[in-house]
Structure 1
Amino acid sequence: MQVVDSHIHLWDLKTHRYPWLENPGVSFVGDARDLKHDYLLDDLLGEAGDIEVLKLVHVEANHDPADPVEETRWLQSIADRKESRGLPNAIVAAVDLSAPNAPAVLEAHASFANTRGVRQILNVHENRLFDYVGRHFMREPQWREHFALLRRYDMSFDLQLYPSQMEEAAALARSHGDTQFVINHAGMFVDRSSVAGYRAWRDGMRLLAGCRNVAVKISGLAMFDHRWTVESLRPYVLETIDTFGVERAMFASNFPVDRLFGSYADLWHAYASIVDGASVTEKEALFCRNAERCYRI
């Protein structure tokens, strides 16, 4: 089974700083204490099993915010090694678009061959358990001003947010129609205990899907379903594909975070089982081609 994994993280605790792994704790996404160890390219490929990993997209791993460019420099050095076969083929780098130095950071990221885009986590939630950043960045004038610079460097934007933020995000996507947006983790449907929560996710995803420059990664589902099965994942996978179409949806592992709740091969085989009835062309799009197109790899 061949895949282009469009959402993975690597880290080296010996040589780099990741504040969230210095004193990790337990949250709704799992026990981060079990992630406090190096996770390198060989570790991921070593546990791929019968999954043939053709290409990889590395998404920023909450590296030291004082030096986000160092993470990109390190990843590019890995990709440049002969034995790495160019992996990771695409780098989605970290930037704080609200910061005064954001233009300089973007320019520095853009100097590396494999940089394709950036991510800034936007998740805000009224429940402190789920709140990541405590700020509505999309409403801040300087953030929006710096966001407009992405087009200058032909960078995409990985969009990590909650359903309650999707209306604002859709407006942002419409106003930047020449920038590629990629929703992370199928929209992070966290409010699963009510009909209203489901509707917010469904309607928000449909709103975003109405923007032709928005794609979606089906990933991170295990963060909200620690005892997942093929059947428990099925409705979220199929609803997401139905909303965005097979031409704008892609599967991803979110490893090693989702490794807390299952093996790499089991996750990919679960995806394959869910879309078993799709055509060969549709499967190629979901597992490989869409990621290659979105991240230009």
Structure 2
Amino acid sequence: MQVVDPHVHFWNLDTHHYPWLANPGTSFAGDARELKHNYLPTDLLREAGDIDVLKVVHVEANHDPADPVEETRWLESIADNAAHAGAARALPDAIVAACDLSAPNAPAVLEAHAAFARTRGIRQILNVHENKLYDYVGRHYMREAAWRKHFALLERYGLSFDLQLYPSQMEEAAALAREHPGIQFVVNHAGMFVDRDSPAGYRAWREGLCALAACQNVAIKISGLAMFDHEWSVESLRPYVLASIDMFGADRAMFASNFPVDRLFGGYSKLWHAYASTVSDASDCERGALFRGNAERIYRI
């Protein structure tokens, strides 16, 4: 099976600082202590098994916030070194970099990221939740004037925005997408449907994604489902996979691995074959778009 994987993370703990891995703990997403080891392109390709990974998009891995551009510089160097060495895969093919858009230096950081050939977008995690177990950032960035001012600069540099948030934030995000039709948004992890214990939680997820899907500049990555379903199976993933595709269409949805994070709950090959099983009745054209084409088009690789 050939795939383009639009959501992977690499890190080198020997040379770089990742605060969340310096003193890892457990959370709803699993035991981060099991991730405290280097994870490089060679590791991903080694464990891919029968999956032919054609290209990958690296999404910022919570690198040292004091120097987010260093992560991009490092990723460019490992891809360049692999290319110069004649490697079959010079990964990553594209980079979604980190930037705190609320910070005074955000314009300079965006300009620095954009100077690298493989930079395609920015991710700043936005997840806010009333339950501290699920809360990532503790503030509503999308409501802050400085953040919104700097967000608008993405279009100047031709950068997309990877949108990681919860259903309760989706109406605000849809308004942001309507305000900036020239910026490509990509919803991360199928909208992170965390409140699964009530009909209201399911309704918020569905209605929020529908609002985002109504914006033609918004796409969705079907990934990260194992963070909320540690004992996942094809059947347990199927409703979220099919609902996401139904809302966004096969031309604005893409499968992704979220490795090595989702590796805590299953192997790389197992995950991709599970995705394939959920859309086994789709046409060849649709499967090609979901597994390869949409990621290539949206991230320009």
Interval containing the TM-score (normalised by the shorter chain): over 0.9
Once the two structures are superposed, residues 57-99 of structure 1 have per-residue CA deviations (whole angstroms, 9 ceiling, x without a partner) of 0000000000000000000011112226331111000000000
Aligned to 1:193: 197
Matches within 5 A, 1:230-249: 230-249=234-253
1:123 Cα deviation from its structure 2 partner? 0.1
1:145-199 CA distance string (max 9 Å, x none): 0000000100000000000000000000000000000000000000000000000
1:51 equivalent in structure 2: 51
Q: Say whether 1:288 aligns with 2:292.
A: yes
2:226 paired residue number: 222
- AA aligned opposite 2:79: A
Paired residue total: 297
1:202 aligns with 2:206: yes
Segment drifting more, 85-94 vs 54-63: 85-94
- For 2:5 and 2:47, locate their aligned partners in 1 and report how far apart those are by CA, in whole Å: 14
Q: Distance in 2 between matches of 1:216 and 1:234?
A: 16
TM-score (norm 2): 0.98
1:150 to 1:84, Cα distance in 2 relative to 1, 3 A: farther
1:197-256 deviation per Cα after TM superposition (whole angstroms, max 9, x unaligned): 000000000000000000000000000000000000000000000000000000000000
Kindly report structure 1 stretches of 4+ aligned residues shifted beyond 4 Å. Answer: none
Distance 1:287 1:272 in 2: 9
Distance 1:253 1:135 in 2: 28
Alpha-carbon contact 2:54-2:89 (below 8 Å) kept: no
Separation (CA, whole Å) in 1 of partners of 2:24 and 2:230: 18
Amino acid at match of 1:145: K
Cα contact 1:59–1:92 (8 A) shared by 2: yes
1:100-157 per-position Cα deviation (integer Å, ceiling 9, x unaligned): 0000000000010000000000000000000000000000000000000000100000
Distance in 1, matches of 2:179 and 2:93, equals 29
AA of the residue aligned to 1:123? N
Instruction: Measure, in 2, the Cα distance between the counterparts of 1:293 and 1:175.
Output: 23
2:159 pairs with 1:161 = no
**CA separation in 1, counterparts of 2:179 and 2:10?**
33
In structure 1, distance between residues paired with 2:162 and 2:75 = 18
The equivalent of 1:65 in structure 2 is 65
Task: Structure 2 unaligned segments of length 5 or more: list them.
Answer: none
Deviations 1:247-293 (Å, cap 9, x if unpaired)? 00000000000000000000000000000000000000000000001
Name the CA distance, whole Å, in 2 between partners of 1:222 and 1:14: 28
In structure 1, how many angstroms separate the alpha carbons of the residues matched to 2:292 and 2:182? 23
In 2, are the aligned partners of 1:24 and 1:32 still within 8 Å (CA)? yes
Change (3 A) 1:257 1:111: same
CA RMSD, aligned part only? 0.6
Secondary structure (helix, strand or coil) at the match of 1:182 reads: strand
SS in 1 for 2:55: strand
**Where does residue 104 of structure 1 map in the other structure?**
108
Cα distance in structure 2, aligned partners of 1:181 and 1:237: 19
Query: What are structure 1's unaligned runs of at least 5 residues?
Result: none
Matches of 1:282 and 1:105, distance apart in 2: 37
Give the match's secondary structure for 1:278: coil
What is the distance in 2 between the residues matched to 1:49 and 1:247? 27
2:151 matched to which residue of 1? 147
Aligned CA distance change for structure 1 residues 31 and 268 (closer, same or farther; 3 Å): same
For the Cα contact (< 8 Å) 1:78–1:84, is it kept in 2?
Answer: no
The DSSP-based 3-state class of the residue aligned with 2:150 is: helix
